[in-house]
Amino acid sequence: MDCIYHAFRVRPEKLEKAILGAEAMGFGGLNLTVPLKEKALKLDFIKPDPLAKRIGAVNTIVFGKDGEIQGYNTDGLGARQALLDASVEIMGSRMVIAGAGGAARAVAFQLAADGADITVINRTEERAVELAKEISAAALPGKIRGTGLSGLKDLLRDADVLINTTTLGMYPNTDTAIATAEELHSGLTIFDIVYNPLETRLLREAKAAGAKTISGVLMLVYQGAEAFRLWTGVEPSVELMKKTVLEALQV
């Protein structure tokens, strides 16, 4: 298959021009990351699928042969598969999701659909509460509520899984974390969707507490594999993708 995948830095105010320019140059599709996912959904020429529309964010764009520009969100599927790979039982698990942005929305919608018991925490409590209300209105099998960061320590005592969807710990601000080892415990699974660095401070704190850890590389690979299927119709080699990502991160 004669294809290349290339990264471009695009300012939010240039997103519309960037997408239309990529289409004009014959690109097959695009991935979008923070802070472009929610903004893309507001562009009237993008036709989101029902899941992306419900999530309120697009991370994958497909340029159709008929001229239609389609929007999808593969983040939730990527997170789900990363958890399953770590032998996490999603149904009924008490999960704390840190953040209320595009990635948090995708992950929360998917895990609520899979029956998890979710608490969304966010620095701006109103955003967490609003996200929880939206997901509750979708009448999914799981339970969900929203609150501010001040309740994190108490929530973690009874939680099974903590998922960080914020940019805390992301390069170059690698010395930050949503929680410390003293606030974690060995019964937790800590999933940090940040993948640069591969081992974030949160994951180091989790190991110090004896907790199970999941790297953001897995979500990156699995959401990317789904995007590849959408672009090409071909089933990718997930193991090859993992190897390539780890090499790119110089692990």
Catalytic residues: 37
Dist CA 245 CA 223 (whole Å) = 13
Maximum separation of any 2 CA atoms in the chain, in Å: 55
The answer to whether residues 185 and 156 touch, using CB atoms and an 8 Å cutoff, is yes
Dist CA 217 CA 226 (whole Å) = 14
Dist CA 145 CA 131 (whole Å) = 8
- Left if phi > 0, otherwise alpha if psi is -120 to 50, otherwise beta: which for 92? left
Angle, alpha carbons 129-106-40 (nearest 5°): 100
